[in-house]
Amino acid sequence: MRSQAGTTPRAPRAGTPPEEPALELPGLVRDKVAEGRAKAKATRARQAAEAEITDVDPVARVLVDVPLAHLDRPFDYSVPVAMAESARPGVRVKVRFAGQDVDGFVVERAAASDHGGRLTPLRRVISPEPVLTPAVAALTADVAERYAGSRADVLRLAVPPRHATVEKAPSPAAPPVHLDPAAAETAWAGHEPAAAYLRHLAAGGAPRAVWHAAPGTDWPHLLAHAAAVALGSGRGALLCVPDGKDVARLDRALTDVLGPDQHVTLTAGSGPALRYRDFLTISRGARRVVVGTRAAVFAPVHDLGLVALWDDGDDLHAEPRAPYPHARETLLLRAEREGAAALVGGFGRTVEADQLLRAGWAQEMTPTRELRRARVTVTIAGASDVELERDPLARASRMPRAVHEAVRAALTEGPVLVQTPRRGYLAALACDRCRTPARCPVCTGPLRLTGPTTLPACGWCGTAADPWACPTCAGRGLRAPVIGDARTAEEIGRAFPGTRVVASSGDRVLETIPAGPSVVVATPGAEPVAPQGYAAVVLLDTWLLLARTDLRTEEEALRRWSNAVGLARPGGRAVVVGDPAEPALQALVRWDQPGFARREAAARQEVHLPPAVRLATVTGDPGAVDDALTLLALPEPVEVLGPVAAEGAREEDDAEVRVVIRVPRAQGPALSRALGELQRIRSARKLDPVRVQVDPPTL
């Protein structure tokens, strides 16, 4: 019987829970629930905004950081409404590419895309800071094409890694600068036609010059004055030097000429935070004068008016990472693209700089004859009959009497620089009876001495050769055909007792030395700077620099000698120990490095060597190189030399080989395009890689 209204309800069945009254949620729980609903609503709104594409320039062209040559081009992505303002050209973004999130740079915003399908939207804008300026973005494309490389590799050289904390801080503007318009022409007096060059630069023009500096020239101050002229015209300046030691010199000179806080230095050793801070200071336009090493050639200087390069023959200007661009060529490309003035200077003269003059691209700037004669006198020990009568062993002795006399006289006036090519103590040993080179009995490596009390040891495996016997004549005596800087310093210390002798080489490179009397023994490139210059400069073992087997042997030797003599004070002297008939030494005595470069360029033109022709090398496994030559569509006329064993490889081993490709200079761009297309084909087909290098610095 069913229960009716008003009747007493029956008790619930066993196991059935009784009904409970509804409970009211506490206030804290209600707030949590409401907060969760609000977050979910905001997430749905954000997702909807991300899905909605902006109406204004909805396409972003992105250079994706992918190291594959066949993908080296901008890709189109759609721009969501939420990123419409922040996804500007030059900013870093995160995009979806090949199933994963990768970094990239927005290089352009467009109204439409050539892609017929639906575009993938940008994932997010990493930072709204535009770090890739349009000028630098175009320059990276030029460099990648010039050196047959990937644009992604060039971008890694151009833009440093992001440092978020540094990016949040503002870049203070430079204080007002007060420049003296006449000071620059006064500083450059004696180098012609420097005055006309500076006036053209001050008027907003773009003059180009190859500058040959007189010995004893304070080149950092002259470059600083040139930068001041560019700054006075309302434009920026970019100065590139070989190493950190030169950056420090130019940094001090710019402070003297422009005042403090007017320029920025960029070097690889600055550290990630400091380097990115200085980069942002330039990118934001807070500073317009930049000095640095080869990485600074991509600095985003606003309104660039002058690019300058010092000592373009130094191998430190050549980038060791793909695509191996050279600072000189990068700066010249930049000067062409941005309409800036160019200045390539040095104590020496490369054949590439001479080519700029012969092609009419630049004008020559040289010291007057009076200035050259007044600065430094260069002599060769034993070059005259009178000297040979006084010292019959002048040409056979490592340090003849003329060197001792020059050092003794100069020590009464100031410091003396002695340049020796090799570092170490006794860098090589030979049998004193038959002159056979001393080799290690274990691995056949060269034996050497590291100090006056050490045993002869192998330079490869470190095994001590005690006792040692010559395998040719059974002699047990050793001689040293090659002496390093440590032994040279020891010998000079014995010859001039009581004189302070210091060494600068290897891991211990001195930047400056005190002004008092002392003897500095240094290897090429490690010479410290004396405050007022050296009273005398001595060049030892010149034959050793000329014994290298390289395309640039004599050019490089003259450059290193010229840089050492260039450190002499005005009125000082230089003594060279070498063969007076050597053309490079004769050019040094006359301070005629430009004439030597012209003769060297003419000789190379006869045998079809750079810069008269454009060279490229293809290096890799024998099979990979052979496949590359099959796929390579070379312009005509062309010469293919090789393959031969690559540097450091033995011909009998199945190691890397190298092919040299040579075309006329006018066909250089076509060769670069063909090599770039080769890289893209090999990348798309996933073939074994080969290393392509256009215009290698050495061969």
pLDDT in tens, 544-575: 888 877 888 999 999 999 999 999 999 999 99
Number of neighbours of residue 457 by Cβ within 10 angstroms = 18
Contact 611/352 with Cβ under 8 angstroms?
Answer: yes
Categorize the per-residue pLDDT at 294 as very low, low, confident or very high, splitting at 50, 70 and 90: very high
Categorize the per-residue pLDDT at 394 as very low, low, confident or very high, splitting at 50, 70 and 90: low
On the question of pLDDT at 426 being above 80, the answer is no
Q: Which domains does the chain have, with CATH numbers?
A: 50-130 (3.40.1440), 181-367 (3.40.50.300), 374-424+484-606 (3.40.50), 613-694 (3.30.70)
CA 169 distance to own-chain centroid: 29
- Classified as helix, coil or strand, 60 is strand
Per-residue pLDDT at 645 = 86
On the question of pLDDT at 689 being above 80, the answer is yes
On the question of pLDDT at 162 being above 70, the answer is yes
Contact 219/308 with Cβ under 8 angstroms?
Answer: no
Per-residue pLDDT at 25 = 52
Which range, of 4-13, 170-179, 349-358, 386-395, averages the lowest pLDDT? Answer: 4-13
On the question of pLDDT at 417 being above 70, the answer is yes
Per-residue pLDDT at 672 = 95
* CA–CA distances in Å: residue 544 to residues 248, 378, 420, 550: 30, 19, 9, 13
Highest mean pLDDT among 387-391, 604-608, 669-673: 669-673
- The residue among 96, 64, 103 whose CA lies nearest residue 80 is 96
- The residue among 505, 504, 511 whose CA lies nearest residue 245 is 511
On the question of pLDDT at 540 being above 60, the answer is yes
- Distance, in Å, from the CA atom of 1 to the CA atom of 8, rounded to the nearest integer, reads 13
Calculate mean pLDDT across residues 527-546: 92
Name residue 109's amino acid: R
Contact 320/295 with Cβ under 8 angstroms?
Answer: no
Average per-residue pLDDT in the chain? 88
Residue that has been written with the tokens 């045993």 in this structure: 455
pLDDT in tens, 295-311: 899 999 999 999 999 99
Number of neighbours of residue 460 by Cβ within 10 angstroms = 14
- The residue among 149, 551, 158, 554 whose CA lies nearest residue 327 is 158
Q: Quick one: tokens of 643?
A: 């393959």
Per-residue pLDDT at 39 = 80
- Distance, in Å, from the CA atom of 487 to the CA atom of 494, rounded to the nearest integer, reads 11
Which range, of 38-42, 231-235, 587-591, averages the lowest pLDDT? Answer: 38-42
Per-residue pLDDT at 24 = 55
Contact 616/694 with Cβ under 8 angstroms?
Answer: yes
Which range, of 216-230, 428-442, 662-676, averages the lowest pLDDT? Answer: 428-442
Contact 57/79 with Cβ under 8 angstroms?
Answer: yes
Contact 502/510 with Cβ under 8 angstroms?
Answer: yes
pLDDT in tens, 74-93: 999 999 999 999 999 999 99
Q: What is the pTM of this model?
A: 0.85
Calculate mean pLDDT across residues 575-604: 94
pLDDT in tens, 453-471: 778 888 878 888 878 888 8
On the question of pLDDT at 2 being above 50, the answer is no
Categorize the per-residue pLDDT at 9 as very low, low, confident or very high, splitting at 50, 70 and 90: very low
User: What ranges in 350-460 are assigned the alpha helix state H?
Assistant: 351-358, 369-375, 385-390, 401-410
Categorize the per-residue pLDDT at 17 as very low, low, confident or very high, splitting at 50, 70 and 90: very low
Per-residue pLDDT at 282 = 96
Calculate mean pLDDT across residues 584-608: 94
330 backbone φψ class: left, alpha, beta (φ>0; ψ -120 to 50): alpha
- The residue among 239, 249, 369 whose CA lies nearest residue 304 is 239
Per-residue pLDDT at 4 = 41
Categorize the per-residue pLDDT at 3 as very low, low, confident or very high, splitting at 50, 70 and 90: very low
Per-residue pLDDT at 62 = 95
Q: What is the C-alpha end-to-end distance of the chain, expressed in Å? A: 112
Cα-trace Rg, the chain: 34
